[in-house]
Structure 1
């Protein structure tokens, strides 16, 4: 696809979109419980997600903190589906440890996978973390007309994912998710 046809394809996608943000962390949840803002949970990555979304001219519909529990993670995704959010971003639980169950909880729900997100995220992460990139299971997909991203929980990963990939493509992705 040429840059001109890409530009034409993205026309009409520059709008304000709503984001539903979910931090997945058992340790943070056990310390702070169910909270409605990243500040209440001392959640630097959640706060960064919120700041990046709003500074890009979009809005945050809701923030949630949930533990690494498949049923609670799925519950959060279902609440996001019932909200007016266009995009759902989960942060945390994407590693290889036995407690990391975000991908196992969320990816099977997808109507369609977006493999290019995880591929591009890992490619761009090589500059920051080198070959350790193989431990990342960042993923994305479509579910009931919404775009869902599962990103690692570190602030560097959140910044890279949002600034370099998610926010620049939000309108384009939402447009396709609704077709």
Structure 2
């Protein structure tokens, strides 16, 4: 890491508030609007919660929603009201007709962070090879909050949080505020 990047990271908050949203129509049909990943047997949600806490941050809440634009938008709006610094969604970023996370959230982004999706896909090549072209992982800001939209697989969640989001979250929040 160069000295300019180190200088930019200086004085960043070490503990941030995260809100986690899992997007899955099938899981929602089975468990309803679960408020914890354990209540929804959500492995990716449990992994998100574990990684966030392990890195010294707080989880303000968790929500399971169906792959429906109105549910997705409402969950993000609720997270914004709860003063989350970072909102992470998992699921609904693929190419099936039911995958509508980005169609729901990208129009809400005031600024996009294309570098997140590019870096995520680059790092994913080792795990899934050329299948990276199927993911539309993305990130952006709404006001002074960062929103990350991840695929639903545990491998994608671990990679994105461990190698990109958690190392940069404080730096990102510092810049958007």
Normalising by structure 1, we get a TM-score of 0.98
Which residue of 1 is the match for residue 141 of structure 2?
142
Which residue of 1 is the match for residue 83 of structure 2?
84
Does 1:61 find its partner at 2:55?
A: no
Which residue of 1 is the match for residue 33 of structure 2?
34
Number of residue equivalences = 177
Tell me the SS of whatever aligns to 2:147: strand
Contact 1:81 1:144 in 2 (8 A): no
Tell me the SS of whatever aligns to 1:126: helix
| Distance of 1:25 and 1:177 partners within structure 2 | 29
Which residue of 1 is the match for residue 122 of structure 2?
123
Deviations 1:10-57 (A, max 9, x none): 101142100000000000000000111000000000000000000000
Aligned-residue CA RMSD (Å): 0.8
Q: Which runs of 5+ in 1 are unaligned?
A: none
Normalising by structure 2, we get a TM-score of 0.99
Does 1:111 find its partner at 2:119?
A: no
| Distance of 1:79 and 1:14 partners within structure 2 | 23
| Distance of 2:129 and 2:51 partners within structure 1 | 25
Query: 10-19 vs 37-46, which deviates more?
Result: 10-19
Q: Which runs of 5+ in 2 are unaligned?
A: none
